[in-house]
Structure 1
Amino acid sequence: MPQRPFASNTNGRLNLEQQRKRAKELLPHLKHQDPGATLSQAQWQVARQLGFSSWPKLKAHVDAIDFAARHPGFHAGDEARTTHWRCGNDIAHSLQVAGFKGRFRMLTDPLCMGPVRDLPKEDFRAMRSAFISQAFAMAPSDAAHRISDEYDQLEELANAEHSVLWCEADAYDQLFLIRALAGLEHAPKKLELIEVDRIPGVERFIGIGQLAPDVLAWLWPQRRVIDDGAVQLARRAWSAYCDSSPVKLAELAHDTHLALPFLAPALLRQLQELPGIRDGLSLTERLSLSYIAEAGPVPFGRVFAELMAKREPLPFLGDMMFHALLRPLIEGQHPLLLQTEAHLDWPKRVLALTALGQEVVSGGANWLDFASLERWVGGVCLQPGQPHWAIDQDLMPVKRR
């Protein structure tokens, strides 16, 4: 199964003394520009670099995390009887380190990839396990067993005493969230959500898994109750995602939803995995090929690192997921990418554009006119040589003949 991505310049745990030292080191540079510069001005600049509007607000945030680490509120509640749900195992150890005692459960099915259709339970599980086995070179029996266990556990959500879902704002997490909620008729008595799209002081927040245990303790009091409105919205969104037409999904993606405020941006990003009307590339493919065109022959792993660090607007892929998404550009009858150093592990293999790849990147050809492999985005199937859905310049779905 793919692992969740996590990478950043910081894990969200800020050391105030270290920031004071940075301010003192910055002061001589400021004085060179302005002899009247003060330490307070240097501290203000350091705070601004970390995303705070002032030094006192930076200090207050550090103090809040320190307090949460020393006095975790979950010790005074019923956390020991809580089930923590996540779309991967990236925070399992950190929760234990922070002192959480409840059970940990996960759904690792990467719903942002492969076919996701509205099917009877056993057919749905068979579809997903077959895709996972093929995409990640997992034994079919292992994939089927894992999918069965995880979805069986997810069915317990409706009757659980207390459950908390840990999510961020990207498509991987938001699809996990609506899948979990779509299986409910109404909100359980005590179902809560911890949901974040940024962390103060983190230069590029990618996922909860990158955070220090103390920061998880700080997030705990910020959870909120999931109500019937959120459940019904999730059911609508899940139905739209499973549909063979992306029209209803686009309607939700271009709207705002107070019940689940991060849902629409995540759906909009997932919508962009459909082929662009001009070049036939998904956004992931377009960002990757553009970087390879700029950088020349470049290792596979460096392309992934570039997207996660700089180019991907809403990071949602793990490394193995990224590898699986780009393989059709290498393995098809008319490849866009040439892979060399095949004896090395895939991150070290070198990628370069083929002549067709260069033509597609420059806008002279449409990839879907040459693709030889079937591809899915939710319930939308893209078949070689067939009319298909695409996304126009306004990020709206159109049918391309």
Structure 2
Amino acid sequence: MNDQYVHITNGDAAAERIRASGIPGEVLPWRESWLDGPAEPIWERPDATARRASWLERELGIPAPVYALQRRELLTALDRAWSGEAEIVLWFEYDLFDQAMLASLLHLLSRKAEIPRSFGRAHTPAAGRPAGAVSAAGTGMPGGEACPREPVPGLSWVIADSFPGVTDFRGLGQLTPAQIDSLWPQRTPVLTGQLAAGARAWTAFASPDPSAVEDWLGRDAAVLPVMAEALRVHLKRLPAKEDGLGIVERTVLRLLERSGAFTPDKLFQAASAELAMLGMGDLTFWAELKRMAGRPVPLIEIEGAEPLPSFTAPHPADWSMWQIRAAGAGLEALKGNPVRRKRGDGEFHGGGRWLGGYFAADSFPKPPRA
């Protein structure tokens, strides 16, 4: 491994751009989606990995051995980087997909940082910029007056929330190698206070109590404002008291209400445009649609002879095979009349979704007798 820099980024598209930019160092694409499945505080433990791998195989079709092996390889590479003298550079974007991944890494690195690294080189990028201002777009993470400002030895980052001249900025994978190279001088050290706040963010995200995220926002939002915006969006994924819907379900139903029907690819494009702060991938979206259609009282109807694609499905898919429409219960929920359990009704359990460490269970009234 290159002994000067190790770049960790949010997957293969951004990794390819960094490699093509000519920036020195090894590039480690981090492959994970914390929008899906259970999150645990000490997420890298073998038992936590096994539980998550089982869920991903069942719900997304990702083979559990493939996921477990990939995680072991990533953790081994990170351990090797941390134990060496390379500067670790974190390249992440503003959306929840990236910020949850970043929080999980900061939690792990904060525990590794309890044992000081043998790191001899001084970190000198971004001269003249305010300490802790890591946003590539200049938004910054100022850290607040109470944030300890000592740099973590050998750890820096670039957090990209926009780029000059790029409209509808979604991420580093949109940029050219030359544009990526222009971000390199703007990286800044990760401060000890930011590392600690990021670790606390992960603890909150992985908590079975969603109020932990609200508590984190009250304490640390000023320290990591980009992460705070992402976690505010995370809270909108929770079922609302008014209609029983989270932001993804509500967005899907509103699109279907307006347009009548979509093929899956067009619905994904439309929903992604409205939910850019989630950074949601297609597998995540298909799983959400399957859940909405698979409830005992469905919110949507999926017309098609085959299930929506999973991880192992052949690509490209013939999207004309499917049509997706809102079901009556979904349209009623949009009006503020969600299906609710009545006194004396039987009830079904078993459906639901993981939102970080919180399992939002679906429960429904017993369907009427035929």
Provide TM-score, normalisation by structure 2: 0.76
Q: CA deviation at 1:82?
A: 0.9
Is 1:151 the counterpart of 2:44? The answer is no
Is 1:114 the counterpart of 2:44? The answer is no
Q: CA deviation at 1:154?
A: 3.2
Is 1:341 the counterpart of 2:304? The answer is yes
SS in structure 1 at match of 2:325: strand
Is 1:99 the counterpart of 2:22? The answer is yes
Aligned to 2:97: 172
Q: Deviations over 1:170-192 (max 9, x none)?
A: 11111111111111233752111
Runs of 4+ in 1 over 6 A off after TM superposition: 367-371
What is the letter of the counterpart of residue 104 of structure 1?
A: V
Aligned to 2:289: 326
Q: Deviations over 1:205-260 (max 9, x none)?
A: 11111111111001111111012111111121111111111112112235664442
Distance of 1:153 and 1:166 partners within structure 2: 16
Aligned to 2:64: 140
Q: Is the 8 A contact 1:341 1:350 kept in 2?
A: yes
Structure 1: segments with no counterpart, 5+ residues: 1-78, 387-401
SS in structure 1 at match of 2:163: coil
Distance of 2:266 and 2:351 partners within structure 1: 25
Aligned to 1:365: 338
Instruction: Indicate which of 160, 163, 185 corresponds to 1:196.
Output: 160
Provide TM-score, normalisation by structure 1: 0.71
SS in structure 1 at match of 2:12: coil
Q: Deviations over 1:340-394 (max 9, x none)?
A: 13358374421001121221122211479887513111111123439xxxxxxxx
Q: Is the 8 A contact 1:174 1:266 kept in 2?
A: yes
Q: Is the 8 A contact 1:254 1:268 kept in 2?
A: no
Counterparts in 2 of 1:164 and 1:367: CA distance versus 1, 3 Å: farther
Q: CA deviation at 1:97?
A: 2.1
Distance of 1:226 and 1:181 partners within structure 2: 10
Q: Is the 8 A contact 2:23 2:184 kept in 1?
A: no
| Matching of residues 16-31 of structure 1 within 5 Å | none
Q: CA deviation at 1:327?
A: 1.5
Instruction: Indicate which of 377, 383, 393 corresponds to 2:361.
Output: 383
Distance of 1:265 and 1:225 partners within structure 2: 21
Distance of 1:141 and 1:274 partners within structure 2: 31
Is 1:245 the counterpart of 2:209? The answer is yes
Aligned to 1:316: 279
Distance of 2:339 and 2:215 partners within structure 1: 26
* Bigger radius of gyration among the two: 1
Aligned length: 307
SS in structure 2 at match of 1:84: strand
Aligned to 1:235: 199
Counterparts in 2 of 1:80 and 1:98: CA distance versus 1, 3 Å: farther
Q: Deviations over 1:107-153 (max 9, x none)?
A: 21211221112357111111222222223212221122112222333
The Cα RMSD (Å) is 2.4
Counterparts in 2 of 1:335 and 1:151: CA distance versus 1, 3 Å: farther
Structure 2: segments with no counterpart, 5+ residues: 114-150, 309-316, 342-346, 365-370
Which moved further from structure 2: 360-369 or 104-113? Answer: 360-369
